[in-house]
Amino acid sequence: MEAMAAPAFAVALEASSLGVFMRASPLAYPLANLTHLLGLVLLVGPIIALDLRLLGFARGLPVKALSAYLTPFAILGLLLMFASGTLIFSADAKALIVNPVLQIKLALIVCGLVNALLFRLFWSSRLYDWDRRPSGIGRLQCAASITLWLGAGTAGRLIAYF
């Protein structure tokens, strides 16, 4: 079976000065990797904590206040992952773009982001009343969120093996 050819943008990115720098520098790639890991922790940790709270754990913590506290950390984590992921990708874009595990990871991230945005759209105005009248669909979204983000993190770790 013939290997799939990389799209032109991936070829160009890998050949760019950024791609060359990421491969040539003894520190750039490891620092980008560490930043990506920090971003993962800052993104997934708060999301899972909030999702677990919305699923009924730690009922002593007010949902609205917890959401307001944790969301900025998750957003910072997402931004760090996007920036560092772009740097990591640039070093080996031709191989990565055709890696099926990366494609799964990206699909899970898109689904996780869509799920989070839909949750915010539909339920953020009702978080103050979540303990008295939780939404079954909203709780399903929380369980899906945990699954999607853990799946994306797992896929990210498995990219190197495929």
**Segments making up each domain of the chain, as ranges:** 25-161
The pLDDT of residue 3: 62
For 1-47, the pLDDT digits (tens) are 446 789 999 999 999 999 999 999 999 999 999 999 999 999 999 99
What pTM did the predictor assign? Answer: 0.92
Vertex 119 angle, CA 125 and 152, to 5°? 150
Residue where the block lists tokens 């498995």: 158
Q: What angle do CA 132, 136, 138 make, to 5 degrees?
A: 90
